[in-house]
Structure 1
Amino acid sequence: MNFSSARQYFDQEIQQPDERIDLAKAALYIAQEEYPNLDQEEYLNALDTMALELQERLPSQRYPLRVIQDINRYLYDDLGYGGNKADYYDPRNSFLNDVIDRRVGIPITLAIVYLEVARRIDFPMVGVGMPGHFLIRPEIADMDIFIDAFNGGEIMFPQDCQERLSQIYRQPVQLRPEFLATVSKRQILARILANLKYIYLNQQELDKALAAVERILLLFPGASIELRDRGLLCYELGRFVQAANDLETYLAKAPHAQDAALIRQILTLLGRTSEQ
């Protein structure tokens, strides 16, 4: 599959209602732009096989905490999945095929493995977009527990989440309800792409950073910051017409943004004038 086909299939997948998006397929389409010869079925079958093996280990009485412990034992003890703490910013940590092959990843991609295996054993779970550290939780009313897929499936309560946030930000953080809000599949995919965007920006791989931004905009077409960043990347890459169009749209959406003066300067260089 070539680059444009992977992009097309990704776009088709995400045009569905959120609950019908196949998260594993969409994540593999993200990876397919990096690995054109990636065999999707191989990795979907790997998830199916994991679920079948896990199903055999589950007790007849499926108490939620017991199911979580069994998933943890299988994924982390038996298969050896774990967080890549040694090389967190390796882009391979964001590609689902690499995570399944290497059995290491970052919170968001390990969470996808966990969510997809759990879905296949009819134990629905959802993503939780905690700032700085992605979590998951069972989709069970009044069950206030969270799972850290990066740290061996550690079971966390809201107090643990507050302590984790304070560690991440190195200062006391007051837990607010929105910090533990569930997120859509589109938001999960956007978070993977945002990780790739920043990795590639730091590596000065601007074409790949642009590819990440373009797919975020397929997910969220009106995202102002992504429009701005696509414009700036196109400017750096010499795609001046696209750059000017995006930067003008950004200014129209956010005329009083902190960087508005800088964006107007760039537009002037591009021969476009923008109203103050």
Structure 2
Amino acid sequence: MTREEAEAILTSAGEGGDDSFPLLEAAIACAIHDYPFRDPEPVRTLARSACERLKERIGGEGPDEALSETLSADLQLNGDLLHADHPANTDIIDVAERRRGLSAALAVFYLHAARAAGLKAAGVDFPGHFLVRVETAEGPVALDPFSQGRLVLPSELTRRALRAGLTPHVADRLDLLMAPVTDRQSLIRLQNLLFSRAIRSRDYDAAERSALRRALLDPDDHRPWLDVAAAREKQGALAGSLEALARAHGLDGVEEARRSTTFDRVRLQLN
């Protein structure tokens, strides 16, 4: 798969609705878009194994236990405790090979398997650490893909929220802490992480790619195009920066003045 083919897949996914969002294939396209011409079949093979094993477990165990045991015990998908900042931990192809990754990447396999097995699950955009919410007969529970899919108790959620800087009023609200997000938002969170890392390391080419993926996945959001423009400007690609600013233009009237100012600043550099 080429980078252009990956962009076509992401564009199609972005134009579709949330109910039919192709999480696994979109995650593969994100990885290929970063580093093209790799074989994505190991990802699909691992995902199929997860679906098959989870379906076998359902019935004999609760949905949350079946999901965590399948992904963390049977398939050995867990967090990389020693090298959390390694680039491979955010790449779904590398994660499938290493069986190690960050929560947001591991959650792709959790959510894909849950969907196939008929479980009701969703990502939770928890501060600093992505979680998976699973609906059970006793109510929703949170699993931590990074820590062997273990159950995160409400008291621990509150402690984590306080450590992340949330106010006590918010940290005590489990309905807020466990608010589900769409699969689209789950994958965008991963791209946000990649963008932040690239900016910190001044890898503006990688920052541009991750921002572009966000823009394709959520075409109604103007903010990724502003990040694309900023990354292109850092690389000296001023015409490309103006093109990105033009794409952002008109998507959100509230930010119109900011975009116009940025557009004029970049345009003046070309004169």
TM-score range (shorter-chain normalised) is: 0.7 to 0.9
The 8 Å contact of residues 91 and 199 in structure 1, kept in 2 or not, is answered as no
Which residue of 97, 103, 109 maps to 1:107? 103
Q: Secondary structure at the match of 2:133?
A: strand
Amino acid across the alignment from 1:72: S
Q: Secondary structure at the match of 2:164?
A: helix
2:65 matched to which residue of 1?
69
2:269 matched to which residue of 1?
269
1:133 matched to which residue of 2?
129
User: Identity over aligned residues, as a percent?
Assistant: 24
The 8 Å contact of residues 135 and 141 in structure 2, kept in 1 or not, is answered as no
Q: Secondary structure at the match of 1:33?
A: helix
Q: Secondary structure at the match of 2:192?
A: helix
Kindly state the Cα deviation for residue 19 of structure 1 after the two structures are TM-superposed: 1.3
Partners of 2:193 and 2:46 in 1: how far apart?
Answer: 24
2:152 matched to which residue of 1?
156
Change (3 A) 1:155 1:261: same
Partners of 2:92 and 2:130 in 1: how far apart?
Answer: 16
**Deviations 1:76-109, CA, capped at 9 Å, x for gaps:** 2343322123222222111111111111111111
The 8 Å contact of residues 232 and 247 in structure 1, kept in 2 or not, is answered as no
Range moving further from structure 2, 84-93 or 72-81: 72-81
Count of residue pairs the alignment pairs up: 266
- Is residue 2:168 matched to residue 1:168? no
The 8 Å contact of residues 166 and 173 in structure 1, kept in 2 or not, is answered as no
Kindly state the Cα deviation for residue 233 of structure 1 after the two structures are TM-superposed: 1.4
Kindly state the Cα deviation for residue 67 of structure 1 after the two structures are TM-superposed: 3.3
Q: Rg bigger for which structure?
A: 1
Amino acid across the alignment from 1:200: A
Kindly state the Cα deviation for residue 217 of structure 1 after the two structures are TM-superposed: 1.0
- Is residue 2:181 matched to residue 1:183? yes
Partners of 1:212 and 1:77 in 2: how far apart?
Answer: 31
Partners of 1:59 and 1:261 in 2: how far apart?
Answer: 56
1:243 matched to which residue of 2?
241
2:4 matched to which residue of 1?
4
Matches within 5 A, 1:84-123: 84-123=80-119
1:254 matched to which residue of 2?
255
Range moving further from structure 2, 96-105 or 140-149: 140-149
Gaps of 5+ in 2: none
Matches within 5 A, 1:32-47: 32-47=32-47
1:192 matched to which residue of 2?
190
The 8 Å contact of residues 190 and 219 in structure 1, kept in 2 or not, is answered as yes
2:14 matched to which residue of 1?
14
The 8 Å contact of residues 197 and 213 in structure 1, kept in 2 or not, is answered as yes
Partners of 2:183 and 2:74 in 1: how far apart?
Answer: 28
What's the TM-score, normalizing by structure 2?
0.84
Kindly state the Cα deviation for residue 155 of structure 1 after the two structures are TM-superposed: 1.2
Q: Which has the higher contact order (CA 8 A, sep 6+)?
A: 2
The 8 Å contact of residues 127 and 164 in structure 2, kept in 1 or not, is answered as no
Change (3 A) 1:24 1:270: same
Amino acid across the alignment from 1:155: L
Amino acid across the alignment from 1:22: P
Gaps of 5+ in 1: 272-276
